[in-house]
Copies of this chain bind each other. A is one copy, B any other.
Amino acid sequence: MPFLPHTNADVASMLAVVGAADIDELFDEIPSNLLNTGRGNNAPAAGDAAGMSEMEMLRHMAERARADETGPCFLGAGAYDHHIPSAVWDIASRGEFMTAYTPYQAEASQGTLQLVYEFQTMMSELTGMDVCNASVYDGGSGLAETILMAVRAGERRSKGRPAGGRRRVALAGAVHPLYVAAARNIVGHQGIDIVQLPYGENGLADPGRVTGLSEPPAAVVVQQPNFFGLLENVDAITDQAHECGALTVACVNPMTLGLLKAPANWGDGGADIVCGDGQPLGIPMASGGPSFGFICTRQSLVRQLPGRIVGRTRDLDGNPGFTLTLQAREQHIRRAKATSNICTNQGLLVTAATIYLSLLGPEGLRNVASACHARTRDVVAALELPRRFDAPYFHECVLRLGQPAQPIVETMASRGMLGGLALGPYFSDLSDCLLVCATEKRTTSDIRQFANALQDAVRRAA
């Protein structure tokens, strides 16, 4: 077996200490009818019983990986092909970060703990909020956790008062549909109701709709930029939500905050909770995971915040140091009454994002954001296709193909190009629409190549 250090001599002397004749004897408490004593009937589907060598395994995996390589990516929709500085993963994959457990023993985990404290600071700076947690799983499930948090917070505020829509949350219509699906599937089990406000002809949520709801919801969720890449009227929505006593939940792409207004500054009062997916911050797309979700909030709501939080404290000598804090909210202490069941989170990705943000700095992040916008502008210009919505877009844009988009995407794929997302499966009224995206990595020649291929595919299919 590849990873066992035991020599025959070791086994013999260890068994002697234990007082067992053989290893099988160590399993003598297990009912024999349950015990699999033969070898090999758990065989993996590939490879023989003895297992592959690392060389064979890598060849097997590399052949498969090669089959999936494609050309330049113009697909976004929640996962973005950004440049990742080489230093990010050279450092994040150091054994000391990658093979440590959750930092329960603070004195032996100051590296990870300080880094998370720095991460919390950076995310607070980006969103303008007071605090950030040390990650939840991803943007989709993170939205669910955020909704649960908002409902809890709402219930605390409305204690004594009639329940009303306190277990209902309103979502803007153009929140990422896969986030909405995940959130529904999770919060539904606590009887929380999600209502979606339709998006208007311009692709945006109508702030007026918020106050128009029969019962004011616990929270209003808006995504900026929204799923269509458009800039919502976040100021008005925030104000309307607050007006009807709801919390404002912002779902954001943290990369765009290099340029876009921090949610804390939305409207008069600012968003109350900010969530999102950290993938754009130095995380490879990697089929969507591992990435990480994050939740930021105001100091007043910190005890409702799920997930781990690191605090600065002092050691016996009075020197500063870092430790997990507010653990009394967590499942291992609070059990059935915890803010969430989350335990293992996405720590290594937080590590990468922290290094990424340090390397980019304020100017770097702003320039990445502006380059993404500029390249998308170039794509829209090159494609010469009508835009479906006329609100300002950031780095994704919905274009009308005048024919079903799905076959076009397939054609592009057969030429090794990720040409965007066909919106039909998500919004039946948009089946002739393509959501395209460009990041700072796309070159003029990528864009030309893409435009030619897409125009050609559209022409042939028409």
Hey, which bits of chain A sit against chain B, CB under 8 A? 53-55, 58-59, 83, 85-86, 90, 93-95, 440-441, 443
What are 8 of the A-B contact pairs (CB < 8 Å)? A54-B83, A54-B85, A54-B86, A55-B83, A55-B440, A58-B83, A59-B443, A94-B94
A375–chain B nearest beta-carbon distance, Å: 12
* Residues in B neighbouring A440, C-beta threshold 8 A: 55
A403–chain B nearest beta-carbon distance, Å: 34
User: How many chain copies does the complex carry?
Assistant: 2
A367–chain B nearest beta-carbon distance, Å: 10
The chain B residue with its CB closest to the CB of A443 is B59
A274–chain B nearest beta-carbon distance, Å: 28
Contact B55 A441 (CB under 8 A): yes
Report how far A332 CA is from B301 CA in the complex, Å.
Answer: 66
* Residues in B neighbouring A86, C-beta threshold 8 A: 54, 58
Report how far A323 CA is from B337 CA in the complex, Å.
Answer: 59
The chain B residue with its CB closest to the CB of A53 is B83
Report how far A95 CA is from B96 CA in the complex, Å.
Answer: 13
- 4 residue pairs, one from A and one from B, having the closest CB atoms: A55-B83, A54-B85, A55-B441, A54-B86
Report how far A317 CA is from B90 CA in the complex, Å.
Answer: 37
Report how far A86 CA is from B53 CA in the complex, Å.
Answer: 12
The chain B residue with its CB closest to the CB of A87 is B54
The chain B residue with its CB closest to the CB of A91 is B95
* Residues in B neighbouring A59, C-beta threshold 8 A: 441, 443
* Residues in B neighbouring A83, C-beta threshold 8 A: 53-55, 58
The chain B residue with its CB closest to the CB of A83 is B55
Report how far A259 CA is from B443 CA in the complex, Å.
Answer: 52
Most interface-central of A86, A94, A440 (chain B CB within 10 A) = A94
- Known contacts A58-B86, A94-B94; 12 further A-B pairs (Cβ under 8 A): A53-B83, A54-B83, A54-B85, A54-B86, A55-B83, A55-B440, A55-B441, A58-B83, A59-B441, A59-B443, A90-B93, A90-B95
Report how far A411 CA is from B53 CA in the complex, Å.
Answer: 34
